[in-house]
Structures are given as C-alpha cells and as structure tokens.
C-alpha cells in the first residue's frame, strides 16, 4: 500500500515537537521528527513516538458510552449521548443554579488548542464559578507571583541569550517543561550542551542529581522542601556584597529594605545548615548567578509542590528582580507568542494583579479564592461532598483523571461517586472515566486541526503552526470544542470568546473558533493557515515585538514587601522541621516514559517500565535491610502505598523519589509491579496546603519506609 507522509506536530505533551506523519490505508502508520523544522531539527521524545499506537489501540473509545440502570456501559450515538448529558445538566442548573456544575480541564485538555479556551467559555456562559484546571495542582504559585509582584512588560531574559542559569528542581531534559526564562523543551539536552560550550554557567539545586544537574557547574543537593533557605542564603550574599543591579533596583523596585531584613538571619552558614548544602557552595552560586549579565532563576513543579510554593517562587522572583534579568529598551522582547492576545512591550513594570481571590468569587471551602478565572483543584472534592447552596452536583471532566491526579485519592473517589452526573471526555477507560455516567469519545490529535498556542510560551521567535487533520477519526467522535458547543446549545447558554460571542445558530468550524478565541493575537490562526506551505512552520520575524520606551504616565514598581512574603520568610526561618517518626522525604520526579497519569497503557512504554519505582540511595536500602526489587510500604501520616525499591546513587540520603500522578488505580502488594501507585494518596489537602493558593504538599512528603 502507498504511504503518504505529511507534516504536523506532536500533542502528546506541551512541547509540540515537529513531526513527519506516515499515513497508510487511512491510519497513522508511523511518526518521526521533522529534520527540516527550524525549531526542532528532527527532535522527538519516546512518548511522542507512541502516537501511532495511541491512535490505533483496539480498546480506544471511539463511540460514546452511557451507563445503564444495571451499571454497565452501552454504546450510543454521539448525538444521543449529548442529548442525555445536555438534558441532565440543564435539569441540575434549573434546580440548583449554575454553580452546581463544574468543569475540569486535565492534562489532555491542554493538548487541544481549543480545549481550555472552549471549556472556559462554556463555564463562563453557564455562569459557574467552578472552573478548574491542572495548573492549580502543580504550579499555582507561578501564576500568583507573576500577577502579584508585577511583570516586566518586556519579558524575562530568554535562555538563548543567557550566560548564567539557575534551575531549582527543574529537569527539562526529561519533563520537556520550563517556565519563561528556562531551557526550551525542544531538543533540550542538545540545547543545554551547546549553551555550555558557548560559555553558559549552570547552577542546579535538586535533592537528586537529575539529568540537568549532571551538567551543572555548581550542583546543590538541597534538602527536600528547604529551597527557601537556599534562595534566602543566596540573596543574603548578593545584598551583603552589593552584587545586585543597584541602578535597576533604585529605578524599579520597592521593598528592598524589607527583603534585606528578612534574609538577615540566612547567613551562608545558617542557610547551609537548613538547606543541607555546603556554605561555600551557596556563596559561589550567589556570585556566579549575580555575576552573569543575562539569565534567569526558574523552578520546576517539585519545589512548588513541596509545601512552600509561594515563598519559593517569591524568592526566585526576587533573585531575578535584583539582578535585572529582563529584556531592555530596544531589544527584542521575550517570547513573542503569535497566538496570544498582545500586550504592550515596554521597558517598565506593569501593574500588579489582584491578590489571590480578590475581585473574584470565593470557594465555600477553607476561604480559598480563584486564581485568575479558576478555582483551586484542591477544593473540588469538598465542594462536591459539602451540602448547601452551590454544592457541585455535576462534573464535566475533559482529558483529565482526578482520581489519580488529585491529592487525597480516596476522598476524590468518594466525591466522584457521589455526583448526580459525571461526564468524562476521554479516549480510554481511565480510572475516572470508569466512574462516569456518560463518556464522550473525542478525536485524537492527528485527527483534528490545531495550532501551537500551548507551546509558544517557549518559542523565542515568532514561530507558529496550523496543522490539518492527518487522518479521519474512527467511529463517532467529535473535537472537544464541538462537544462543549453542542452542550451549550442544548442547555441554552452561550460561549463568550475574546473576539465576541461564539455563534450559537450554527457550529463554527475549528478555524473560525480559533480566530474568535485568540482575537487580538499577533497573527490570527486563519492567516497562519493561509501562510503555511506543505504543513511547515511559519516564522514572522518581521513582527517580533521590540521593547519600547517606558510610558512616563505609568509609575509601577516591583514591590518585594507585598503579600507578607518577607514575614513568611521570617516565620519559615523560625520554624524547625519535625520528623516526628517520618524520617524520609518523598520527592516527585518526572518519567521519560509517562506524562503524568498518561502513557502506561501504551505497549511501547509499558515495555520500558510497568510500575512506579521507589528510588533510594543504595546506603539507605542497605540500612533498611532492603534490596532492589523488594516491595516496600511507604507510609505518611495519612496513608500507606506500596512501591518497588530501586537504587540510585544520584539521590541524597533520606530521600525516596517517585513519580506523582502515576498509574490508574490503587495497587496493592500483589499487583504493584504491574500497576504502580500514585503518591497523591499519601497527602491530605485539608491539612498540608498553601494558605494562599490551596496547593497541597505533593513533594517532600514526610514518610517512613518498611519492607512489605
């Protein structure tokens, strides 16, 4: 048979690597990197190369399912499933109000370029405050600090321009994730090695010597959860030795004295004792970072999930502010973002956003408020289980798996099972989908049109792609935005978008929807589509924004004393960690062969690993009387899970390292080798959580270890 090869991009994760797709007999037969792409140069990862299997698995859900009175699922036409879902949702809204319906966008909602935008428009049209995404599970502090302390309107320094970089718990070689200023996830290992050959100085802080840490000029094996001590020690050195950019600080920063007072007690010796690293290394790292001309400090999700996320991100923000790591007047602005609504790019500080929860509805639970337009995920279970006005009675789950991804796993199961209606949009019978009343079958990535709006947060040039569908979707499927439009139509609500209300008389095609959703962007999706030749990327170099002079009518400054963070640092310094019999700290890690809870069902990835190993330092295993491949019981103050022991001399002593949000259920001793466990069962979001963001402790979890 003839094989046709076309250009597209991967949507297994948020990197969106450029791909060549082989199509045979109307099916995806193979994928590989596109060596002619100017951004990726042929790079793909092992997860993305599983797309043919992901599309063609025999147990893929290609027809909608409705649970009958006997508890069993029966296949139905998409229109019939939408009719039932729409009727039941409308009845719930009519009786209990719009807040009784919640929408959750999981990992794979983000991999559809219209997924989150359509879900937000659906929720806003419905009028519910209960809109959730996975952002508040692992990185709400990044959003909070960016909004609260003000943004430099020209953007942070980009990695390509950096001569120094500080990574805290960030391993983009494996995770393919980096915040602004970090290592772009496009052939990250090669990019980092090339940068080091060109003179980049790299500092890495991590409880384990990760892939990135192995390339560091200074590696700081920080004790889990003690990143604030390390950062405060570095800031102490920078301020004491006046290594900061005094002209920039004088012009653009308030609150310096408050920060100076807060770090006064974090001398290198004191910081080293708390952080578990060498004092001289802290001094050397501070001097190296401040001595660079460009380059940022960035974090991964691990430090943010370690219980002091906002404080950690505040101190990282302070480091970048003190050292003026921003694009200046006349330079190209950072990260042009072709599909994102444009904001002025000026050499000045923009206004701060509202405090967490200010100006937006609040949850009924723990006094927590919204982060931008979304509620923190860690109130959802209680919002479902707590009676009263506004109780969630229906949940639409889009490309997510809350049973595995959310903390306090058993409570989440109780909450999901208590819903009047659970609608899951999923391609497989994942743990959460198994509890659904209705499962809607979506198209997969190579079966739909998409743009690169998710990954453009790392493109340092105005790079954009509009991909066509590579193959026809099997069965009776729809794109997620089409499903949400159909539900809004049946309920009788609208879908407000940036370009105006979505037309509800006739369902718009994907291009029209994307144009409306991204109105005000640098280049509309329809134009990118028209400019695309043979599926290739388009680079609008002549449209790259340049940082303009400051507007004299605006006089905003970074405020390092805002939101009580200097006081929070003092409180942290005065508190002493208490092991209380839980002598190990469990830290999260990324896996080459999984993307959160996704991937374990794919044959090519299962062949690499079936479980979620518990990695220990070899000396810890010996002291515990354990050997590699033993099954271990890992117990927190909340629960016990089982893991399969593995040795790694890349870990510091007293640390166990496992992937979070892993697997597809509750594995016992007998099946843990085949299924693996999610560490989220070990934590309780009502006890250990950030009071500003509601984020639960999901890394640096106190645990004790025993043979199973």
Is 396 in the same domain as 503?
yes
Is 194 in the same domain as 333?
yes
**Average pLDDT over the chain, rounded to an integer:** 93
DSSP symbol at 351? P
Closest listed residue to residue 698, CA positions, set 340, 348, 309: 309
Higher pLDDT, 408 or 563: 408
pLDDT (tens digit per residue) in 272-314: 999 999 999 999 999 999 999 999 999 988 888 988 999 999 9
Is 181 in the same domain as 242?
yes
- Per-residue pLDDT, 457: 86
In a domain, 507, yes or no: yes
- Per-residue pLDDT, 650: 94
pLDDT (tens digit per residue) in 196-247: 999 999 999 999 999 999 999 999 999 999 999 999 999 999 999 999 999 9
- Is residue 132 within 8 A of residue 102, CB to CB? The reply is yes
The percentage of residues in the chain with a pLDDT greater than 90, rounded to a whole number, is 78
Q: Which long-range contacts (CB under 8 A, 24 or more apart) does 240-249 make?
A: 241/286, 241/287, 243/286, 243/287, 243/290, 243/291, 243/323, 244/290, 244/322, 244/323, 245/322, 245/323, 245/324, 248/324, 249/321, 249/322, 249/324
Torsion, Cα of 358, 361, 365, 369 (10° steps): -30
Residues 422 and 66: their CA atoms lie apart, in Å, by 11
Is 505 in the same domain as 373?
yes
- Is residue 381 within 8 A of residue 398, CB to CB? The reply is no
DSSP codes joined into one string, 123-160: HHHHT-S-EEETHHHH-HHHHHHHHHS--BTT-BPPGG
Is 201 in the same domain as 326?
yes
The percentage of residues in the chain with a pLDDT greater than 70, rounded to a whole number, is 97
Please report how many Cα atoms fall inside a 13 Å half-sphere around the Cα of residue 152, on the Cβ side: 29
Q: CA-CA distances (angstroms) from residue 651 to 22, 46, 65, 617, 702?
A: 41, 24, 45, 5, 16
In a domain, 457, yes or no: no
pLDDT at 581 over 90: no
- Per-residue pLDDT, 663: 79
In a domain, 93, yes or no: yes
| CATH number of domain containing 295 | 3.40.228.10
pLDDT (tens digit per residue) in 373-406: 899 999 999 999 999 999 999 999 999 999 999 9
What's the rounded mean pLDDT across residues 612-618? 95
In a domain, 503, yes or no: yes
| CATH number of domain containing 479 | 3.40.50.740
- Per-residue pLDDT, 180: 83
In a domain, 414, yes or no: yes
Domain count, the chain: 4
pLDDT (tens digit per residue) in 438-458: 999 999 999 999 999 989 988
Is 230 in the same domain as 255?
yes
pLDDT (tens digit per residue) in 641-691: 999 999 999 999 999 999 888 877 778 888 899 888 889 999 999 988 888
- Per-residue pLDDT, 610: 83
Q: Are strands 164-168 and 131-133 parallel, antiparallel or unpaired?
A: unpaired
pLDDT at 357 over 60: no
- Per-residue pLDDT, 201: 98
Residues 548 and 546: their CA atoms lie apart, in Å, by 6
Residue-number span of the structural domain to which 39 is assigned: 3-56
Is 156 in the same domain as 275?
yes
**Angle at 44 (CA atoms; ends 41, 49), nearest 5 degrees:** 145
pLDDT at 599 over 70: no
pLDDT band at residue 580 using 50, 70 and 90 as cut-offs? confident
Q: Is the pTM of this model over 0.75?
A: yes
pLDDT band at residue 417 using 50, 70 and 90 as cut-offs? very high
- Is residue 365 within 8 A of residue 383, CB to CB? The reply is yes
pLDDT band at residue 151 using 50, 70 and 90 as cut-offs? confident
Is 564 in the same domain as 615?
no
pLDDT band at residue 356 using 50, 70 and 90 as cut-offs? low
Higher pLDDT, 607 or 4: 4
- Per-residue pLDDT, 301: 85
In a domain, 75, yes or no: yes
| CATH number of domain containing 36 | 2.20.25.90
Is 166 in the same domain as 309?
yes
| Residue 412 dihedral angles phi and psi, to the nearest 5° | -60, -40
pLDDT band at residue 428 using 50, 70 and 90 as cut-offs? very high
Return the sign of the alpha-carbon dihedral for residues 593, 599, 605, 607.
positive
Residues 194 and 185: their CA atoms lie apart, in Å, by 14
Crossing angle for the helix pair 115-126 and 480-491, to the nearest 10 degrees: 10
Residue that finishes a domain, picked among 568, 593, 624: 568
pLDDT band at residue 593 using 50, 70 and 90 as cut-offs? low
What's the rounded mean pLDDT across residues 168-196? 88
Residue that finishes a domain, picked among 38, 56, 74: 56
Is 688 in the same domain as 564?
no
Residues 448 and 232: their CA atoms lie apart, in Å, by 48
- Per-residue pLDDT, 107: 87
Closest listed residue to residue 370, CA positions, set 138, 685, 694: 694
- Per-residue pLDDT, 654: 96
Tokens at 63, concatenated:
């027809």
In this predicted structure, which of 80-89, 96-105, 355-364 has the lowest mean pLDDT? 355-364
Identify the three-state secondary structure at position 701. strand
In a domain, 500, yes or no: yes
Tokens at 560, concatenated:
């390092």
In a domain, 362, yes or no: no
Is 199 in the same domain as 324?
yes
Crossing angle for the helix pair 309-322 and 227-240, to the nearest 10 degrees: 20
- Per-residue pLDDT, 311: 94
Return the sign of the alpha-carbon dihedral for residues 602, 606, 608, 613.
positive
| CATH number of domain containing 589 | 2.40.40.20
Is 661 in the same domain as 703?
yes
């Amino acid at each position: 048979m003839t094989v046709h090869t076309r250009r597209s991009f991967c949507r297994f994760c948020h990197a969106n690597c450029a791909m060549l797709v082989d199509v045979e007999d109307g099916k995806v037969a193979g994928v590989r990197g596109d060596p002619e792409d100017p951004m990726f140069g042929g790079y793909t990862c092992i997860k993305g190369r599983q797309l043919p299997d992901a599309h063609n698995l025999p147990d893929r859900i290609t027809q909608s399912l409705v649970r009958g009175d006997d508890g069993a699922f029966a296949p139905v036409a998409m229109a019939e499933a939408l009719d039932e879902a729409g009727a039941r949702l409308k009845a719930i809204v009519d009786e209990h109000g719009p807040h009784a319906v919640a929408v959750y966008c999981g990992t794979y909602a983000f991999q559809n370029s219209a997924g989150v935008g359509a879900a937000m428009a659906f929720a806003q049209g419905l009028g519910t405050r209960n809109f959730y995404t996975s952002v508040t599970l692992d990185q709400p502090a990044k959003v909070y600090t960016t909004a609260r302390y003000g943004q430099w309107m020209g953007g942070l320094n980009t990695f390509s321009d950096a001569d120094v970089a500080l990574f805290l718990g960030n391993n983009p070689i494996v995770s393919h994730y980096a915040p602004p200023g970090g290592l772009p996830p496009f052939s990250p290992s090669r990019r980092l090695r090339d940068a080091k050959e060109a003179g980049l100085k790299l500092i890495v802080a991590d409880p384990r010597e990760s892939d990135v840490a192995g390339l560091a000029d200074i590696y700081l094996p920080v004790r889990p959860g003690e990143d604030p001590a390390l950062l405060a020690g570095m800031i102490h050195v920078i301020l004491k030795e006046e290594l900061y950019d005094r002209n920039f600080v004088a012009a653009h920063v308030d609150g310096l004295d408050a920060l100076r007072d807060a770090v006064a007690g974090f001398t290198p010796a004191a910081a080293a004792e708390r952080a578990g690293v060498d004092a001289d290394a802290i001094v050397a790292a501070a001097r190296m970072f401040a001595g660079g001309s460009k380059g940022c400090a960035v974090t991964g999700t691990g430090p943010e999930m370690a219980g002091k996320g906002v404080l950690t991100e505040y101190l990282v923000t302070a480091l970048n502010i003190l050292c003026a790591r921003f694009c200046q007047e006349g330079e190209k602005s950072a990260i042009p973002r072709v599909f994102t609504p444009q904001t002025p790019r000026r050499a000045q500080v923009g206004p701060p956003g509202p405090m967490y929860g200010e100006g937006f509805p609040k949850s009924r639970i723990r006094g927590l408020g919204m982060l931008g337009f979304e509620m923190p995920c860690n109130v959802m279970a209680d919002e479902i289980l707590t009676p009263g006005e506004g109780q969630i009675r229906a949940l639409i789950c889009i490309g997510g798996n809350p049973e595995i991804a959310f903390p306090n796993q058993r409570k989440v199961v109780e909450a999901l099972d208590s819903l009047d209606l659970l609608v899951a949009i999923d391609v497989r019978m994942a743990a959460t989908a198994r509890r659904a009343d209705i499962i809607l079958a979506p198209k997969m990535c190579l079966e739909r049109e998409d743009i690169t709006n998710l990954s453009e947060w790392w493109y340092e040039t105005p790079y954009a792609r509009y991909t066509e569908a590579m193959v026809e979707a099997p069965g009776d499927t729809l794109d997620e935005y089409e499903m949400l439009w159909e539900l809004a139509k049946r309920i009788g609500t609208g879908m407000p978008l940036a370009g105006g209300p979505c037309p509800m008389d006739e369902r718009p095609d994907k291009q029209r929807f994307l144009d409306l959703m991204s109105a005000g962007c640098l280049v509309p999706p329809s134009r990118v589509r028209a400019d695309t030749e043979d599926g290739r990327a388009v680079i609008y170099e002549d449209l790259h924004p340049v940082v303009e002079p400051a507007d004299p009518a605006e006089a905003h400054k970074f405020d390092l004393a805002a939101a009580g963070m200097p006081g929070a640092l003092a409180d942290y310094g005065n508190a002493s960690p208490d092991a209380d019999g839980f002598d190990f700290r469990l830290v999260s890690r990324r896996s080459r062969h999984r993307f959160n809870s996704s991937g374990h069902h794919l044959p090519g990835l299962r062949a690499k690993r079936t479980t979620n190993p518990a990695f220990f330092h070899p000396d810890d295993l010996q002291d515990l009387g354990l050997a590699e491949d033993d099954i271990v019981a890992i117990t927190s103050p909340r629960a016990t899970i089982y893991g399969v022991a593995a040795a790694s001399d890349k870990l510091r002593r007293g640390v166990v390292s496992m992937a979070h949000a892993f697997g597809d259920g509750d594995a016992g001793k007998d099946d843990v080798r085949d299924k693996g466990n999610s560490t989220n069962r070990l934590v309780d979001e009502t006890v250990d959580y950030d009071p500003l963001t509601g984020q639960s402790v999901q890394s640096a979890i106190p645990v004790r270890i025993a043979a199973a």
